[in-house]
């Protein structure tokens, strides 16, 4: 293994670049949440969920609203108002 030889090359300039932190793309999470909610609505419509199960499904649907809203706000803050709606 060879060592680094710095005698031959001179450092001319060093740039310091500020890195802006960005949040990740919320699209896949929003797609999963939307699919899960759609399947729950379909299950209620098809009669798969009956009785007290409908109440549990309703609680899950209300709980999914918060992360879905956060993902939509993240899209809106990135300037993508189409996906944020």
pLDDT per residue of the chain (85 residues) written in tens, 0 to 9: 566 665 666 667 777 777 777 778 888 888 999 998 999 999 999 999 888 898 999 899 899 989 989 988 888 888 776 655 5
User: What pLDDT shows up at residue 72?
Assistant: 86
Which pLDDT score, from 0 to 100, does residue 3 have? Answer: 62
Listed by start position, the domains of the chain span 27-77
| Contact status, residue 75 vs residue 83, Cβ threshold 8 Å | yes
Overall size of the chain counted in residues:
85
Please give the DSSP secondary-structure letter assigned to residue 51. T
Torsion of CA 54, 55, 59, 64, to 10 degrees: 10
Structure pTM? 0.60
**Structure tokens that stand for 73 in this block:** 């706000």
For residue 60, which phi and psi values (nearest 5 degrees)? -65, -40
The predicted structure's pLDDT at residue 8: 61
CA 26 remoteness from chain centre: 2
């Amino acid at each position: 293994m060879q060592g680094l030889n710095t005698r031959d090359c001179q450092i001319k300039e060093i740039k310091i670049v500020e890195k802006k932190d960005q949040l990740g793309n919320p699209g896949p999470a929003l797609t999963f949440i939307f699919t899960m909610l759609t399947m729950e609505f379909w299950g209620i419509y098809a009669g798969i969920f009956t009785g007290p199960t409908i109440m549990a499904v309703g609680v899950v649907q209300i709980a999914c609203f918060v992360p879905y809203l956060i993902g939509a706000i993240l899209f809106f803050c990135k300037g993508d108002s189409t996906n944020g709606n």
